[in-house]
Structure 1
Amino acid sequence: MSQTQPPALQLERISRRFGSHAVLSDITLSVPPGRITCLLGESGCGKSTLLRLIAGIDRPDGGTIDLGGRRIVGPGRFTEPEARRIGFMFQDYALFPHLSVEENLAFGLQKLSRDAQRACTAEIAQRIGITHLLGRYPHSLSGGEQQRTALARALAPQPEILLMDEPFSNLDQGLRERVRRETLEILRQLGTTAILVTHDPQEALAVGDLIVLMRQGRIEQVGTPFDIYDRPHSSYAAEFMGPCNRLAGIWHQGQIETPIGRFATDLCLPDGTAALACIRPQALSIAPDGGGISARIVSKTFLGESEQIEISVHPLFEPLRMHSHERIPMAVGDKVGLLLNGAQIHVFEQSQAE
């Protein structure tokens, strides 16, 4: 985003309380135009509440919201949802069952003439690839067809921003991946600014140009998928984005000393500081020549494209988990040599690790 180009959406110190419970606290966020931003977090972290505040379905208790450089929420200012030019695609799609697909698409175009409505619905149906569905009703559509219809209806009024609340969660795994891929292609072709809510880190990594990881009503970290996965700011972020082996250690002369070895990172801590190493399962591998750290295989789980292996290493109480895309010929109970790839080891100060 250039310095002269304003963000598509700017949130400043947004807060929301329900009774004594702070659902959102001090949320400040810039959403880049023409990109897909993912709000990621576990259930109850506030991501769907934040989406409703942006849409105008709910009002914040404090803070401001600017859309395309104009203030829509702030002290003495609240722009009604219908005047915001924000599209909203609900988790259950919320298609009107008594209206045809064409009538659903035209629902947000009531201010246009009948001819203009028909032209708009025909254009968006052609772009989304649902022209053949225009005369049908929601009950006769498959899950993927309902999802595409809901997407077309949200895009028909040409919103400045499209909000999507868990839009693929109602689809089974195979269909979910295909529909998600098709949806992303459409949004990128149209240059749509979109904010998508998900609880699935793998979906966020696959979808988002920008990921906003939320935790207990606050933003834990903001970054690109590579930033947030490869350079997590906290042990929470590291473990939320993917499984980790946790090893306690002591920081000494630029390295963390653990029971199974010393690892260098770019972290800077005083010598003697208690630290925590989060080691990705893919950072572990079996030494082909039996070298490395002495270990023993305690379990193997075949996952199709990969194998999950648990390895016991003295003096650790808990086995280490590793993932391998290669077939490991050793059996449960066999002794092996374990190697570690330091690039997938994240170190944090123990007092800040939760």
Structure 2
Amino acid sequence: MAALSFQNLSRSFGDIRALDGVSADIPEGSFLALLGPSGCGKTTLLRLIAGLDRPDGGSLHIGETLVAGPEQFIGPEARGLGMVFQSYALWPHMTVAGNVAFGLNRLGRADRATRVERALHTVGLSDMAGRRPHELSGGQRQRVALARALAARPRVLLLDEPLANLDAHLRQQMLAEFRRIHAETGCTMVFVTHDQNEAMAVADLIGVMDRGQLMQLGSPQDLFQRPANEMVARFVGHGRTLPVTVVLRGTRRCRFMIGGCTFTLPGIAPPGPAWLCLHPSDLTLSTNKSGLVARVTDLRFEDGYQVAHLWLEDLPEAAPLVLRLDHPLVLGAEVRVTVRGGWVLPRAAVSTPSFQTVPA
């Protein structure tokens, strides 16, 4: 059963179309990341799920319950959701246990204490129940906010860029905590972020959004290896797209020409103009005189690798390709590169969102 279901959801603010006909079904128990550039509509969609805003059109179901539609709207307090905010939103005068217990007044004292104890145990803060928020680190305060949401046993847990205020080391720790807690609780989670590394690290399902539309919904591997259109190809994994010409299409493979060279790679493009979607791992330096002629335009050291930007002489209008190497090149040098991987898309795919995973 779907934990969340959107049908043609739309929301405008004046002349700005924040959401433009978003449709998707999110399976029960999923860890969904909503990913995209600033202003793409991901936070607007999260607010509609939470009941903090109303859609202009379409419908939204949580489980089998219609919570927003043309003649129906259920407020946030009756949706059975939990939410973790970017700012933590903790009461400074309350203890950790008091913050977690906030909102559980409908329970008896014994049941409330049990819920608090279990929630704090889940996030690893059992020994800090008596502390105040100012006595905690940023990562610990984030865990308190998470424990408070989990204590209410929500049907769906919403995470609104919860790691934005943490340093890089704490973000990695909290990503591991999110993965562990999701596996332990089985709760459906919706995680909003503009950081694709965060999304790839925690989510089993990612929705890439752009200009109010859901461009593709799929696993991290699907989005990386089989992007549905040019926007997804360029956004996920810092990919590049090159214009190519497909000369022959087989079963899930395409033979194409680029810069006078012919390659055969996985793809779904018919003969004619197409896009070749590439990541740095799809390129390698040629050891002979074959391959595409390129010039080194930039060099930097990153994560233990030499990262080179390469300008293709046969495609001067294309963005520079990125190549990761274990040895340095010379700035300005002419090299040849071979394409050993990638995904070939029809050229028209740039304007056609895909709401489902591209089949393998």
Same-fold call, TM cutoff 0.5: yes
Report whether the alignment pairs 1:200 with 2:198.
Answer: no
- Structure 1 runs of 4+ off > 6 angstroms? none
Report whether the alignment pairs 1:220 with 2:219.
Answer: no
Aligned residue for 1:246? 241
Correspondences of 1:126-137 after superposition (within 5 Å): 126-137=121-132
Aligned residue-pair number: 345
- Cα pair 2:297 2:332 within 8 Å, conserved: yes
Mean CA deviation greater in 65-74 or 329-338: 329-338
- Cα pair 2:7 2:21 within 8 Å, conserved: yes
Correspondences of 1:142-221 after superposition (within 5 Å): 142-221=137-216
Aligned residue for 2:229? 234
Identify if the C-alpha distance between structure 1 residues 292 and 63 changes in structure 2 by more than 3 Å, giving closer, same or farther.
closer
**CA offset at residue 77 of structure 1?**
2.0
Deviation digits for residues 108-158 of structure 1, max 9, x if unmatched?
201012222112111111121111221111122111001100000011010
Q: Report the RMSD for the aligned CA atoms in angstroms.
A: 2.2
Distance 2:233 2:276 in 1: 10
Aligned residue for 1:269? 270
Identify if the C-alpha distance between structure 1 residues 46 and 126 changes in structure 2 by more than 3 Å, giving closer, same or farther.
same
1:104 corresponds to which letter in structure 2? N
- Ranges in structure 2 where 5+ consecutive residues have no aligned partner: 250-254, 353-360
1:83 corresponds to which letter in structure 2? A
Mean CA deviation greater in 233-242 or 200-209: 200-209
1:344 corresponds to which letter in structure 2? G
**CA offset at residue 73 of structure 1?**
2.0
Distance 2:292 2:73 in 1: 62
Aligned residue for 1:310? 309
- Cα pair 1:101 1:136 within 8 Å, conserved: yes
**CA offset at residue 259 of structure 1?**
1.6
Mean CA deviation greater in 23-32 or 283-292: 283-292
Mean CA deviation greater in 282-291 or 191-200: 282-291
Aligned residue for 1:322? 322
**CA offset at residue 38 of structure 1?**
0.8
- Cα pair 1:235 1:348 within 8 Å, conserved: no
Deviation digits for residues 81-114 of structure 1, max 9, x if unmatched?
1111100111111111222111110112010122
Report whether the alignment pairs 1:344 with 2:342.
Answer: yes
Q: The residue matched to 1:253 in structure 2 has which SS? A: strand
Deviation digits for residues 28-60 of structure 1, max 9, x if unmatched?
111111120111111111111111111111111
- Cα pair 1:301 1:307 within 8 Å, conserved: yes
Distance 2:320 2:40 in 1: 29
- Cα pair 2:269 2:344 within 8 Å, conserved: no
Distance 1:56 1:351 in 2: 33
Correspondences of 1:99-138 after superposition (within 5 Å): 99-138=94-133
**For 1:81, which of 58, 63, 76 is the aligned residue?**
76
- Cα pair 2:299 2:331 within 8 Å, conserved: yes
Identify if the C-alpha distance between structure 1 residues 169 and 335 changes in structure 2 by more than 3 Å, giving closer, same or farther.
same
Aligned residue for 1:3? none
- Cα pair 1:11 1:64 within 8 Å, conserved: yes
**For 2:6, which of 8, 11, 15 is the aligned residue?**
11
**CA offset at residue 260 of structure 1?**
4.9
Report whether the alignment pairs 1:299 with 2:318.
Answer: no
Deviation digits for residues 153-211 of structure 1, max 9, x if unmatched?
01101011100011111111111111111221112111111011111122211111111
Distance 2:195 2:327 in 1: 29
- Cα pair 2:285 2:336 within 8 Å, conserved: yes
- Structure 2 length as normaliser, TM-score? 0.89
Distance 1:276 1:190 in 2: 42
Q: The residue matched to 2:337 in structure 1 has which SS? A: strand
- Cα pair 1:278 1:345 within 8 Å, conserved: yes
Q: The residue matched to 1:50 in structure 2 has which SS? A: helix
Q: The residue matched to 1:328 in structure 2 has which SS? A: coil
- Cα pair 1:89 1:151 within 8 Å, conserved: yes
Distance 1:127 1:104 in 2: 15
- Cα pair 1:37 1:209 within 8 Å, conserved: yes
Distance 1:262 1:275 in 2: 14
Distance 1:297 1:130 in 2: 51
Distance 2:14 2:186 in 1: 40
- Cα pair 1:277 1:348 within 8 Å, conserved: no
- Ranges in structure 1 where 5+ consecutive residues have no aligned partner: 1-5
Identify if the C-alpha distance between structure 1 residues 260 and 97 changes in structure 2 by more than 3 Å, giving closer, same or farther.
farther
Distance 2:201 2:326 in 1: 26
- Cα pair 2:229 2:349 within 8 Å, conserved: no
1:134 corresponds to which letter in structure 2? A
